[in-house]
A = this chain, B = another copy of it.
Amino acid sequence: MDQNDVLKLENQLCFSIYAASRAITKVYRPFLERLGITYPQYLVMLVLWEKDKITLKDLCKKLYLDSGTLTPLLKRLETMDMVKRVRSSEDERVLCVSITDKGRNMKQEAIKIPECILGSLNTDVRALANLKNEVDQLLIDINE
């Protein structure tokens, strides 16, 4: 590859992933709008649908997001009555995030979304699964 090509936008994997990430979020937007939540908020709900209750610290680790991002996001979800934020009685520093009934009920609506997304994309599911594995491997390589 030419020395000059190294910098060319088209050759940059990072840009592709950056653009793909925003494009995917855009695909989700209209579906999530109906639920009244954003994509990062949806990720939080995905976690809580699997596990009723989780500490903020563990949530940060699971989503690779820091508390500065999640704190205001969770406060918005709390205002919408989707989650509850309670401090642990054992350790007052620890914040426990738990799902409300309203938040739990939303799962029934949300469960249709992944299929809708797959339908609107006309790609082979196998190819997507394969792509996911490769992206995950990259994530592992980045974090050593």
Contact = CB atoms under 8 A, between A and B. Distances in A.
A137 B135 CA distance: 14
Contact of A110 (B7, B15, B134): B7
Contacts of A16: 132, 135-136, 139
**Oligomer: number of copies:** 2
Interface stretch (A19-27, A73-81, A95-103): A19-27
A49 B7 contact: yes
Contact of A25 (B18, B39, B135): B18
Interface string A45-67: 01101100000000000111000
Contacts of A137: 123, 127
A93 to B, nearest CB: 26
Contact of A19 (B8, B128, B139): B139
Contacts of A110: 7
A64 B107 CA distance: 32
A20 B111 contact: no
